[in-house]
Structure 1
Amino acid sequence: MLDTYSFNDILFKKSNTFCFDSESFRYLIARKNRIEFDDYQKDEYKRSWITSVNETNRLIQYICNELKPCLQKSWMSIEHAQFQINRMIRPILETIKNTMRNLILLDKSSSKSLIKLCPSPVDRNSATCTKCSHSPILCGEFWITRYDLHNLSDRCSQCECDFSRHFKVNYVLKYELCDKKQKPSFHDMKRNLEQLTQIIIQFAYFYKYLVHIATGNDPILSVLNRMIKEEKSICSQKGNQNLNANLYDNLKSFKNEYEEAWSMSMSNPKTITLPEIYKLIKTVSENREISEQLSIIKQMEDIYMNEQEKLIQ
């Protein structure tokens, strides 16, 4: 009879079926509400608890001794892919933005240095406020917004701005100048930029057709808009005669290309499969600058998980 309830290669049999009696849990709730029981009822609940304990031990033994692990590398799901892409959005866009900076510098024959991204970890509750003023710093020939980190829990400890004005950060970027010879050529950078912009557009199709996110909730566009706003603010403060004006124009052009691809897909839907998305995720992960940022994010996630495990213990 049990065999008739088996599913594919998962057998339904006594050895992998576990019974947990709810009576003991009901007893605990009842006692918490000061309900009294006679000795016979207490004995029944005691036997129920012992049954559940034995079944729990049997389940743990079964998991440890009988089951084979399912390797994460073989997982494919929309939710898992979405989790991976969500982590990548800022690293990809920061890399695109910095590549644009360096292409502008390479286009200037007088420029001898390029800009390198240097990610570093932050406290878990770190956030930045988009309403508070932030002073840009000069790195070579580019002004770069330096965000003051706020500590965000139930409320911000540094400002009185609305909670919605803050966005959490899981790493900060510092910037270093490096010699041109230590970086890829102009054409290699150009090719890398084109590849990343096309991948981010493919991720937009993923959000639209597989996750079914509306344009107004697009997480990619949200980060991109914030970057454009940063450059606009710098141009307002420092004038339009610096290289940030070129970067501002490039970011706006990229946004137009992104939005055009999104709107064109309304009339001409794009087909994208989950295996294709995973290939793109792998390609992005192999980019050195993106990989370094993802490594810091993973480091912060591991710290958080360890903290939670200690709390549970």
Structure 2
Amino acid sequence: MADPIILNESHSVKHAQLMANSMIRPMLEAMRNTIRNIILLNERSHKTSIELCPKIIKGTTAICLECPRKCIKICDFWVAIDGLHVVQNKCRTCLCDPSQHYRIDYELEYKEIENSAKPTEEDMQKLLHSLYEASPKFGYFLLQSVGNSQRDPFLLGFERMIKEESDICDQKTSYKFNLDLVEQLQVLKNSYEKEKKKLDAKKMTIELDDIYQKIENVNKHRIIDL
């Protein structure tokens, strides 16, 4: 569990940017895995769920969007495992363009767990909503604070996950659960874009204290604790 955030004069836009950026991948992966477990819960034959097991990485590491990744099957889901590439000015693992790599600071592993004390679907939907609700505000803040000169990092993340799951469906013969996941991720992405457009249209100014409060609220969720 992350330490509570105490608002003081040391906080700044730059600091909030760094914190919000560091939460993008954990939030997106937590949303994807929560959807997986909701799908599993709705399948009465399943008595297990998937737990995310992040491992901190030392060194400058990235995942290549072009290189093929190994898939494992867990709880009837195919999951693309993180293929770690060593990156400095260029990738030392492959010849793909540096722009096709995204930096990571932890590796995701997955564990099948018994649902002896499983959360209810209502609990998981609340978690999903909490993470999703914060996403457009973080995305809006990050883009506004750099002058809208970059692509939306959350939108890029949704697109990346949808492509990963779609690629799995193209490659595997048994992919029903992954197809369900693609559809649910697409719904989340569409909703995210709508909420983001509302914020853009209102030209809202998000107070720094509000961002820190949202960061603290999101950090309370054990599922994305590193």
TM-based fold match above 0.5? yes
Which residue, 256, 269, 274 being the options, matches 2:190? Answer: 256
Give the conservation status (yes or no) of the 8 Å contact 1:113–1:179.
yes
Distance 2:176 2:77 in 1: 8
More helix per residue: 1 or 2? 1
Q: Are 1:277 and 2:216 counterparts?
A: no
Query: Which residue number corresponds to residue 138 of structure 1?
Result: 73
Distance 1:123 1:81 in 2: 23
SS in 2 for 1:182: coil
SS in 2 for 1:100: helix
Percent of aligned pairs with the same amino acid: 36
Q: CA RMSD in A?
A: 2.0
Give the conservation status (yes or no) of the 8 Å contact 1:99–1:193.
yes
Distance 1:119 1:181 in 2: 22
- TM-score for the superposition, normalised by structure 2: 0.90
Q: How many angstroms does 1:199 deviate by?
A: 0.8
Q: Are 1:113 and 2:55 counterparts?
A: no
More strand per residue: 1 or 2? 2
Spell out, residue by residue over 1:172-223, the C-alpha distance to the aligned partner (whole angstroms, 9 max, x if none). Answer: 0100011112332111111111111001122123224444325x52112122
Counterpart amino acid of residue 250 in structure 1: Q
Q: Are 1:191 and 2:131 counterparts?
A: no
SS in 2 for 1:132: coil
Counterpart amino acid of residue 290 in structure 1: I
Of the two, which has the highest radius of gyration?
Answer: 1
Q: Which moved more, 1:73-82 or 1:126-135?
A: 73-82
Superposition pairs of residues 234-313 of structure 1, within 5 angstroms: 234-239=168-173, 241-291=175-225, 293=226
Q: How many angstroms does 1:76 deviate by?
A: 2.9
Deviating 4+ runs (over 6 angstroms): none
Give the conservation status (yes or no) of the 8 Å contact 2:137–2:196.
no
Q: Unaligned regions of 5+ residues in structure 2, if any?
A: none
Q: Which moved more, 1:87-96 or 1:238-247?
A: 238-247
Higher relative contact order (CA 8 A, sep 6+): 2
Which residue, 82, 87, 94 being the options, matches 1:152? Answer: 87
Q: How many angstroms does 1:267 deviate by?
A: 3.0
Distance 1:206 1:148 in 2: 31
SS in 2 for 1:120: strand
Spell out, residue by residue over 1:227-279, the C-alpha distance to the aligned partner (whole angstroms, 9 max, x if none). Answer: 11101101111257520001111111111111111223333333432111111
Query: Which residue number corresponds to residue 9 of structure 1?
Result: none
- TM-score for the superposition, normalised by structure 1: 0.66
Query: Which residue number corresponds to residue 182 of structure 1?
Result: 117
Q: How many angstroms does 1:109 deviate by?
A: 1.2
Q: How many angstroms does 1:73 deviate by?
A: 4.9
Number of aligned residues:
221
Distance 2:213 2:57 in 1: 30
